[in-house]
């Protein structure tokens, strides 16, 4: 997994935070008590969660020491922990009303196992709210899709398993919303 620099990440704070705001606004749970923010980065998504659910205990986790240090410095009123979700999650003590992740899980291997582990952290009727950047129509992704469907690579990319993992638990799935954020402005993208 890549190592992230909080200062670089925050250069586009509003563009990185807007999808988290949109995802939080889709959560239809009135009084959650415990919320886990997976891949919290410098705490911007954790702040969005805390602002929306002010009465809840919100815990942000990330595998980057730099991100956790920045989150603790900028949000001393909130709880942040260093944690790699690709490993053992026993230290997280389960029983969350919401497990939230904004633009993180695409960096974590073994989605099938990861989703199972995240769902095991939820209370009954809890919400798994996940946003992964949707740029699958870009040329590089089309090329990778063709390659992953070829005989030599098919076993390494079993995408239908992620869907099956979710539907086996009687989870309702909200399908993708496409968004284009012009980070650099129109001229910069065109040229």
Could you tell me the CATH number of the domain that includes residue 117?
Answer: 3.40.50.150
Rg of the chain's alpha carbons, rounded to an integer? 17
User: What six digits make up the tokens of 98?
Assistant: 């919401």
Does 148 reside within a domain?
Answer: yes
Residue 131 confidence (pLDDT): 86
Percent of the chain surpassing pLDDT 90: 40
pLDDT digits (tens, 9 = 90+) for 106-115: 878 887 788 8
- Summary count for the chain: helices (H), strands (E): 8, 5
Which domain range does residue 71 map to?
6-190
pLDDT at 48 over 50: yes
Question: What pLDDT shows up at residue 190?
Answer: 36
Q: Is the pLDDT assigned to residue 144 strictly greater than 80?
A: no
pLDDT band at 139 (very low <50, low <70, confident <90, very high): confident
Q: Is the pLDDT of residue 72 over 90?
A: yes
pLDDT band per the 50, 70, 90 thresholds, residue 191: very low
CB 85 within 8 A of CB 115: no
Residue 83 has pLDDT above 90, yes or no: yes
* In-domain check, residue 112: yes
Buried b (16+ CB within 10 A) or exposed e, 48-68: bbbeebeebebbbbbbbebbb
Q: Between β-strands 96-102 and 79-82, what pairing exists: parallel, antiparallel or unpaired?
A: unpaired
Least confident of 7-11, 47-51, 60-64, 68-72: 7-11
Query: Is the residue at 1 inside a domain?
Result: no
Q: Write down the pLDDT at residue 103.
A: 83
Average of per-residue pLDDT values in the chain: 79
Our count of domains for the chain comes to 1
174 has pLDDT over 90: no
Residue with tokens 């309702």: 172
């Amino acid at each position: 997994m890549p190592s992230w620099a909080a200062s670089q990440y925050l250069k586009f704070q509003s563009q990185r935070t807007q999808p988290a705001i949109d995802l939080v606004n889709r959560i239809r749970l009135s009084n959650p008590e415990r919320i886990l923010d997976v891949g919290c980065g410098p705490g911007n998504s954790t702040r969005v969660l805390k602002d929306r659910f002010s009465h809840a205990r919100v815990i942000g986790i990330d595998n980057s020491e730099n991100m956790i240090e920045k989150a603790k410095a900028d949000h001393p009123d909130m709880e942040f922990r260093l944690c790699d979700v690709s490993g053992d999650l026993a230290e997280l003590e389960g029983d969350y009303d919401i497990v939230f992740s904004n633009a993180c899980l695409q960096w974590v291997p073994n989605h099938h196992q990861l989703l199972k582990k995240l769902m095991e952290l939820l209370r009954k009727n809890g919400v798994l709210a996940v946003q992964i950047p949707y740029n699958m129509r870009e040329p590089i992704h089309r090329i990778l899709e063709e390659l992953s469907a070829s005989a030599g690579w098919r076993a390494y990319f079993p995408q239908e398993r992620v869907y099956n993992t979710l539907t086996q638990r009687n989870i309702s799935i909200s399908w993708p919303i496409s968004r284009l954020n012009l980070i650099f402005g129109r001229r910069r993208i065109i040229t």
